Amino acid sequence: MKTITLNNGIEMPVLGYGVFHVSPEECERCVADAIHTGYRLIDTAQAYYNEEGVGNAIVRLDVPREELFITTKVWISNAGEEKAARSIDESLRKLRTDYIDLLLVHQPFGDYYGTYRAMQKAYREGKVRAIGLSNFYGARFVDLTENMEVKPAVLQVEAHVFAQQTVMRETIAPYGTRLMAWGPLAQGADNLFKDETLRGIGAKYGKSNAQVALKFLTDEGIIAIPKSMHKERMKENFEIFDFELTEEDRRAIHRLDTGKLKVDHNDPVLAKFLLDYDKNFNPSN
Ligand SMILES: NC(=O)c1ccc[n+]([C@@H]2O[C@H](COP(=O)([O-])OP(=O)(O)OC[C@H]3O[C@@H](n4cnc5c(N)ncnc54)[C@H](OP(=O)(O)O)[C@@H]3O)[C@@H](O)[C@H]2O)c1
């Protein structure tokens, strides 16, 4: 597996498997299938309510823990130094592990300063190997990063061939922060799988649109975590290291960038939805 080195020196796979919208019941099976396929990076979150499924899969399978790279995220309802610290211990328990490889602040809402402080402490205590942010754009990213000692190793944001995040990549570069793409297949939007440019490029190498799109991201040094519930698609998304894109291919894919995101974190309606999310969607409420 191709890896990249984070700003604290640790190695992280450049391709992984995400479990957003995977039910707790299905999660163990999906993560086991993904690990059997060859994935070593798994991306979950407190707010996916399926960390236990990830934990059960990693304990059940015969893969040494140090070969795996487990990412999770602190949700808004656990924001603030004390609550976040407790929630990190809860994530460790659910994930059935002594350490989390990468821990992110999931959303730029609530007391995320307190959350990040708790994450820095967990990092220093060895409970977490790297910390970072998700969905922090522009000034919010710079403000938190400038004020914290441990610079984010990773920023996870929406990124795909139609939204290549060129500005954010420039913003985070001075801190050595690496971009991690959520929705690397544009969340299954048809236009990606039917796009003629991707199709034309893939035809030259016997590869699908999904494979070309993921290859492009990882070539750019962007960590990609496609999600699929289907084993054959997990395999398809994993088989991207046996062909090369040319400069001309890359230029054509750069031209697909519209800069438009599907999810706008400056939208007050989204902010309210996310602030109420745990109340409305936590299955244990
Ligand atoms: N930090 C955040 O706020 C945030 C937000 C969203 C996501 N994420 C993370 O990023 C991961 C990936 O993002 P995502 O799940 O939203 O979207 P995605 O990976 O871009 O797309 C997933 C969708 O594409 C379909 N799909 C996957 N591979 C395919 C293939 N080869 N051909 C055709 N269809 C395919 C899947 O369907 P099937 O499952 O039916 O195959 C699913 O509908 C998440 O699972 C999560 O870990 C983070």
Q: Which residues line ligand 1 (CB under 6 A)?
A: 18-20, 43, 106, 134-135, 156, 182-188, 193, 210, 225-230, 233, 236-237
Q: Radius of gyration over alpha carbons of the chain, in Å?
A: 18
Give the containing element (helix H, strand E) for 178.
Answer: strand 178-182
CA gap 253, 212 in Å, rounded: 9
Supply the residue whose CA is at minimum distance from atom 48 of ligand 1: 182
- Count of structural domains within the chain: 1
Domain range for 105: 3-281
Reported as a single tens digit per residue, the pLDDT across 51-100 is 999 999 999 998 999 999 999 999 999 999 999 999 999 999 999 999 99
pLDDT at 1 over 90: no
Dihedral sign for Cα atoms in the order 226, 232, 238, 239: negative
pLDDT at 169 over 80: yes
Q: From residue 205, how far is each of 184, 200, 210, 231, 276 by CA, in Å?
A: 20, 10, 13, 22, 46
pLDDT at 190: 75
283 CA → ligand 1 middle, Å: 21
Residue 25, helix vs strand vs coil? helix
Q: Tell me which of 50, 228, 231 to substitute to probe ligand 1's pocket, judged by most ligand atoms within 8 Å of the beta carbon.
A: 228
Which domain CATH number covers 76?
3.20.20.100
Q: If pLDDT is split at 50, 70 and 90, which confidence band does 269 have?
A: very high
48 is catalytic: yes
pLDDT at 138: 95
106 marked as binding residue? yes
pLDDT at 247: 98
Over residues 26-52, mean pLDDT:
98
